Amino acid sequence: MQYLIVVGIIAAFIGLYIGAMYLNEKVAIPESCKEAYLEAQSCETCSTKSGRAACNFKDALEFMKEVKL
């Protein structure tokens, strides 16, 4: 009986995760973020074999923090 409860809890977490992913796909990207989103989708520097990202991801995050809506 204990195993059934554990399996049920794990299945519930998996179901919540899948549900959240499904609902997240339906949300439209805000107009103010579309350019950054499209740029991030085409970024290929993180797949470099050096093991570290060669892009300016930290700089982009700092810029986004400065530009508040």
Answer yes or no: pTM beyond 0.75.
no
CA distances from 25 to 2, 33, 68 (A): 35, 16, 24
Decide: 33 and 68 in contact? Cβ < 8 Å.
Answer: no
Q: Would you give the DSSP letter of residue 27?
A: S
Cα(8)–Cα(5) distance, integer angstroms = 5
> Is residue 24 pLDDT above 50, yes or no?
yes
Using pLDDT thresholds of 50, 70 and 90, give the confidence band for residue 29. Answer: confident
